[in-house]
Amino acid sequence: MKNSIAILLVLAFGFFLVHILQLYHTQETLNKTATYYNTNTPAEVGAANVVTAIVVTYRGLDTLGEVTVLFLTAMILGYILRQGGKEKVTKNNTSEILITAANVLIPGSIVLGVYVFINGHLTPGGGFQGGAIIGTAITLMILANPMRTIREGLLHMVESISGFFYVLIGLAGLLFAGGFLDNRILPLGTLGDLFSAGAIPLIYSLIGLKVGTEISSIIANINETGNNTVKL
Binds other proteins by CB under 8 A, chosen from 93, 103, 123, 160: 123
CB of 152 to other proteins, least distance (A): 16
Number of residues that bind other proteins (CB under 8 A): 65
User: Which amino acid, 130?
Assistant: G
Question: Taking a C-beta distance cutoff of 8 angstroms, is the pair 146, 220 a contact?
Answer: no
Binds other proteins by CB under 8 A, chosen from 5, 23, 97, 175: 5
Q: Alpha-carbon distance 122 to 125, whole Å?
A: 8
CB of 26 to other proteins, least distance (A): 6
Q: E strand or H helix at 173, and its extent?
A: helix 152-176
Q: Half-sphere exposure of residue 160, counting CA atoms within 13 Å on the CB side?
A: 7
Q: Which of 102, 81, 88, 106 is nearest to 145 (CA)?
A: 102
CB of 96 to other proteins, least distance (A): 29
Question: Taking a C-beta distance cutoff of 8 angstroms, is the pair 174, 19 a contact?
Answer: no
Show contacts with other proteins in window 31-50 (CB under 8 A).
Answer: 31, 33-35, 37-39, 41-43, 48-50
Question: Residues 125-139, buried b or exposed e (16+ Cβ, 10 A)?
Answer: bbbbbbbbbbbbbbb
Continuous H helices in 54-126: 60-82, 96-118
Binds other proteins by CB under 8 A, chosen from 1, 26, 96, 151: 26
Binds other proteins by CB under 8 A, chosen from 188, 199, 211, 220: 211
**C-beta atoms surrounding 67 within 10 Å:** 23
Q: Is 114 in the site for other proteins (CB under 8 A)?
A: no
Q: Is 24 in the site for other proteins (CB under 8 A)?
A: yes
Q: Is 9 in the site for other proteins (CB under 8 A)?
A: yes
CB of 195 to other proteins, least distance (A): 16
Q: Which of 106, 207, 218, 107 is nearest to 158 (CA)?
A: 207
Q: Alpha-carbon distance 226 to 222, whole Å?
A: 9
Question: Taking a C-beta distance cutoff of 8 angstroms, is the pair 61, 209 a contact?
Answer: no
CB of 86 to other proteins, least distance (A): 13
Show contacts with other proteins in window 47-76 (CB under 8 A).
Answer: 48-51, 54-55, 59, 62-63, 66, 69-70, 72-73, 76
- Residues that bind other proteins in the complex, under the rule CB under 8 A: 2-3, 5-6, 9-10, 13-14, 17, 21, 24, 26-31, 33-35, 37-39, 41-43, 48-51, 54-55, 59, 62-63, 66, 69-70, 72-73, 76-77, 80-81, 83-84, 122-124, 126, 128, 191-192, 211, 215, 218, 221-222, 225-226, 228-232
